[in-house]
């Protein structure tokens, strides 16, 4: 039996055990997957945990700590400087970041093409950094980053273009005022990577900008199937308004595949999770 877990603080809200147990049942693999509230220093906890576990997911606030303790890192983890999946094998700690790839897979399954698309990315925190490389790898046209503090957005952009060559000319930064005062701007896809929906607040983006988008995507998710952002955009008649449950499931599937070398059916898992959430509102 594979001993696995998701580590975080807080952690009670996590859906990861339900998702991974669904995958395990589908693939007929015996696992033990629990959610663990980590209150100790993260590295010391991992040093004990890895003696009997095979791997784990890592969530807020420990993704940067997981990055620091990993012996080997995937390319996505190196760029993001954050790890959401650890694998313990042959006395080596492998660190991966499956968040961005999970987002790309969800776009694909939802029928949203990223090829030659103009993207507006809201928020300059770790969530944005975790998805940038997979987005650029998807042959988009360009990305415009906005944040409440323009300086933070510029810092993230400058760091990223140093790490990933040939992105400088297609990675732009605007202040919120500049964005909202230029209503001629339009974007094919708008991604909310800020934490605004967690606080039931809308990002400060003009409706005139939002309603021109073909698709909006919120990395956050709720049991109701809509965040405040996706609900608002749906009311503006945006054609595709998607919350982040699909991304959560697909990044989990990539973690599960890393541990077990088994591919899973994320579409059936998403249907199951939507039913589960409706029953447990």
Beta-strand relationship, 118-122 and 189-192: parallel
Quick one: residue 25, left, alpha or beta (phi over 0 = left, psi -120 to 50 = alpha)? alpha
Catalytic residue among 25, 35, 50, 63: 63
CB 111 within 8 A of CB 64: no
First to last CA, the chain: 32
**Which string of DSSP letters, residue by residue, matches 22-87?**
HHHHHHT--EEEEEEE--S-HHHHHHHHTTT-SEEEE-TT-HHHHHHH-SEE-HHHHHHT--SEEE
Q: Which residues contact 181 (CB under 8 A, 6 or more apart)?
A: none
Q: Which two tokens stand for residue 37?
A: 């509230």
CB 59 within 8 A of CB 130: no
**CA 212, CA 187: separation in Å to the nearest integer?**
7
Q: Which two tokens stand for residue 11?
A: 């952690």
Angle made by CA atoms 81, 59, 165, in degrees to the nearest 5 = 25
**CA 175, CA 183: separation in Å to the nearest integer?**
13
The verdict on whether 231 is a catalytic residue reads: no
Provide the Cα torsion 261, 76, 199, 209; round to 10°.
-120
**CA 67, CA 88: separation in Å to the nearest integer?**
14
Q: Which two tokens stand for residue 16?
A: 């990861």
Q: Which two tokens stand for residue 137?
A: 């790898």
Q: Which two tokens stand for residue 93?
A: 């700690």
What amino acid positions are annotated as catalytic residues? 63
């Amino acid at each position: 039996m594979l001993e696995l877990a998701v580590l975080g603080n807080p952690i009670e809200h996590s859906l990861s055990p339900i998702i991974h147990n669904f995958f395990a049942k589908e693939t007929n693999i015996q696992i033990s997957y629990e959610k663990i509230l980590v209150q100790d220093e993260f590295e010391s906890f991992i040093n004990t945990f890895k003696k009997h576990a095979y791997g784990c997911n890592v969530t807020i606030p420990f993704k940067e700590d997981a990055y620091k303790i990993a012996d080997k890192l995937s390319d996505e983890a190196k760029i993001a400087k954050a790890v959401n999946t650890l694998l313990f094998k042959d006395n080596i700690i492998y660190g991966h970041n499956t968040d961005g790839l999970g987002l790309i897979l969800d776009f694909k399954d939802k029928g949203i093409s990223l090829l030659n698309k103009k993207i507006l990315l809201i928020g300059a925190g770790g969530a944005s950094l975790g998805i940038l490389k997979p987005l650029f790898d998807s042959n988009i046209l360009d990305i415009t980053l906005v944040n409440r503090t323009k300086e933070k957005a510029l810092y993230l952009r400058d760091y990223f273009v140093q790490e990933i060559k040939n992105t400088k000319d297609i990675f732009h930064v605007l202040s919120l005022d500049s964005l909202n005062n230029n209503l001629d701007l339009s974007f094919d896809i708008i991604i909310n990577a800020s934490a605004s929906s967690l606080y039931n607040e809308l990002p400060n983006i003009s409706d005139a900008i939002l309603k021109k988008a073909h698709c909006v995507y919120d990395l956050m998710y709720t049991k109701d199937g809509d965040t405040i952002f996706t609900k608002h955009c749906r009311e503006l008649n945006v054609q595709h308004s998607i919350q982040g449950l699909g991304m959560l499931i697909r990044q989990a599937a990539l973690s599960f595949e890393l541990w077990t070398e088994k591919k899973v059916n994320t579409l059936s898992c998403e249907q199951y999770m939507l039913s589960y959430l409706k029953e447990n509102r």
